[in-house]
Homo-oligomer: A and B are copies of this chain.
C-alpha cells in the first residue's frame, strides 16, 4: 500500500436523506418545499443570455448580495452568500472556530455540525437538550470556542425565543455564536435583531426551503461587517467564484417575489397545522414544530415500522436510526395538502394493521 494513504484527511462524511426517483413517490424526507419556485424564476431563466456563461461570475455575487441586504434591511457588507447554507456553515466553522476550547451545540441537532468539526479538527462538546428537546441555556454559560444553535432546531422542529438566545449570546461575548435559521421563515423566531446589537452573532439562512430553490444551492449569512469580512477572506482563499451566474439570477428573482414567498409559506404552515391535528388524533406526540417538518413518535408503534411500511408505498420520511435518543422518531417534511392527506391515510392504515396483528397474537 502506498504511503500517500497515510496522509489522507480523517473524515466521517454526513449522509444526506436519499434522493429516490420514482414517478409516484411522496417525498417527505429532506424538508424540501412542495411548491415550485416563484414564476419569476422561470422568467429569469428564459431571459438569461447564455452567451454570458463563457465569463466568470462576479466574485462578490453583488447582485444577489444586494437583493438579500435590501430584503433584510442591512448593508451589503453584512451579507455573505454561499453554495447552500451547508457551504456557508462550513466556511463559518473554518473561519471562526480555531480555538483549542470546544465549541458547543445540542446533542440533537443538525448532524452536519460534528462532521464539520471533525473535518476541520475543531474540538466540540454536545450539550444535551432537555426531555422536551428544549435548550437548557445555563449549559452554555461556560468557557468554549464557539456556540452553534439551529433555531428552530432540526430535526426536532422546536424553537427557542429570541430572549433565550440573547441570554446565551450575552454569556458568550468572546466567541462567535452561530444561529442557523434554515427553517426560520416557517416561524416568527428570527434573531436578526441580535445582529444589530452584538458583533459576534452570525445568522445563517437558506433559499432551499422557504424559497423552493434547493436545486440552485443558495445560502447566506448576516452579521456585522467584521464577521462577514473574515468569512469572505476564507471564501476567497478557497474558491474565487463560488456562485454560478444562474444561481445569482435565480436567487435575485426569488427573493424579490415577496408575495409568492409569503403565500407559499402560509400554505406550508396551514398544512403543517392540519397534519399536527391528525397526528395527535392518531396517537403521535411531538414538540410544537415551527418548521416545514414534524418530528414525531407514536405511543405504541415503533418508528421503524412506519418508516418501512411507508417506504413500500413510496412515501419517504426520515429516520435517525443510529441516534439512540431519537431512533423511534420520524421526521416528516410537510408536503402539499393532498400529499399529507395521503400520508395520514397510510399512517392510519399502518396503525390498524399493527394493532390488528397484535390482536391476532
Interfacial residues, chain A to chain B (CB-CB below 8 A)? 2-9, 11-16, 19, 27, 30, 32-37, 41-42, 45-46, 48, 50-59, 83-84, 86-87, 90, 94-99, 112, 115-116, 118-119, 145-146, 173-176, 199-200, 208, 212-217, 226, 230, 232-247, 250
Contacts and interface: CB of A to CB of B under 8 A. Distances in A.
Given A14-B240, A50-B42, A55 B4 contact: no
B36 A250 contact: no
B57 A217 contact: yes
Given A238-B119, A239-B83, A53 B36 contact: yes
B19 A214 contact: no
Most B CB contacts (10 A, CB to CB) among A37, A46, A95, A217 go to A217
A16 B11 CA distance: 30
Nearest to A6: B99
Most B CB contacts (10 A, CB to CB) among A52, A214, A230 go to A214
A55 B13 contact: no
A240 B56 contact: no
B242 A2 contact: no
B50 A41 contact: yes
Contact of A54 (B5, B12, B33, B97): B33
Given A16-B56, A53-B215, A96 B2 contact: no
Contacts of A214: 53-57, 241
A45 B48 CA distance: 9
Contacts of A41: 50, 53
A239 B50 CA distance: 27
A290 B158 CA distance: 59
A213 B59 CA distance: 15
Nearest to A175: B4
A254 to B, nearest CB: 9
